[in-house]
Amino acid sequence: NAGVTQTPKFQVLKTGQSMTLQCAQDMNHEYMSWYRQDPGMGLRLIHYSVGAGITDQGEVPNGYNVSRSTTEDFPLRLLSAAPSQTSVYFCASSYGGRRGYTFGSGTRLTVV
Amino acid sequence: QQQVKQSPQSLIVQKGGISIINCAYENTAFDYFPWYQQFPGKGPALLIAIRPDVSEKKEGRFTISFNKSAKQFSLHIMDSQPGDSATYFCAAWIQGAQKLVFGQGTRLTINP
């Protein structure tokens, strides 16, 4: 049981490049979310999903896309990277929101 | 905009003392309030949680106090230990919207 797996752990992008942050969970959790963590800002919700085929926007969705074709995977796509997207990104999953989220170990992204 | 306001941003406590972190909210649709603990380089991990129909919940040295009328809740760490040094996040689950939002975080340092 690997829990929530995020890849890559580190990434450097040039402004304007696109990329996909991968997130997979093997706990059969319906709920999955993407957060970004910035100093002094806490964890801000980017996008979330309550099941396969269902996604919705969080607090800071601009510049990011998601899809949920399977229960296990919830990739986050950066369409055209900007320096403001330099952050640590966390994926999390839960069987039901009130049962608590399990977080991955994060992806540290730097956009230059 | 942050829907959960957390304070202080940083806190230094002597070993054996009581650490207190406060959170406040406005949205009455919140119906579950977890706290997460994060060590450097790791993802947040669920520490303790409370429902709004309970005024206090205790698990070992960790206690959540909840004041529904004031829309405030706090984490108390009794007999604080150096191993408690971490960043702590309060969070709130939005009923209906099915999403979890976080406070700004508190960096706690326990001096030996």
Least confident of A13-27, A51-65, A93-107: A93-107
Average pLDDT over residues B50-57: 94
What confidence category does residue B96 fall into, taking pLDDT thresholds of 50, 70 and 90?
A: confident
Considering only the beta carbons, identify the residue of B32, B42, B89 that sits closest to A43: B89
How far apart, in Å, do the first and last CA atoms of chain B sit?
Answer: 37
Do the Cβ atoms of B105 and A43 come within 8 Å?
yes
Considering only the beta carbons, identify the residue of B2, B32, B42 that sits closest to A98: B32
Q: Does A55 have pLDDT greater than 70? A: yes
pLDDT at A56: 95
Residues of A whose CB is below 8 A from B36 = 103
Residues 6+ apart with CB under 8 A from B8: B21, B22, B106
Which DSSP string do the residues of chain B spell out, in sequence order? --SEEEE-SEEEEETTS-EEEEEEE--TTB--EEEEEE-TTS--EEEEEE-TT-SEEEETTEEEEEETTTTEEEEEESS--GGG-EEEEEEEEETTTTEEEE---EEEEEE-
Beta A10-13 vs A107-111: how paired, if at all?
parallel
How far apart, in Å, do the first and last CA atoms of chain A sit?
Answer: 36
Q: How far is CA A34 from the centre of its chain?
A: 3
Do the Cβ atoms of B44 and A31 come within 8 Å?
no
What confidence category does residue A96 fall into, taking pLDDT thresholds of 50, 70 and 90?
A: confident
Q: Tokens representing A62?
A: 């601009």
CB pairs under 8 A between A and B: 63
What confidence category does residue A39 fall into, taking pLDDT thresholds of 50, 70 and 90?
A: confident
Alpha carbon distance A98, A62 (integer Å): 27
C-beta separation of B4 from B92 below 8 A? yes
- Whose CA is closest to B32, among B20, B49, B15, B19? B49
Extract long-range pairs of A52-56: CB within 8 Å, 24+ residues apart.
A56/B97, A56/B99
Q: Which of residues 22-81 of A touch B (CB under 8 A)?
A: 31, 33, 35, 40-45, 48, 50, 56, 58-59
In chain A, pLDDT over 90 holds for what percent of residues? 89
Place of tokens 């910035």: A38
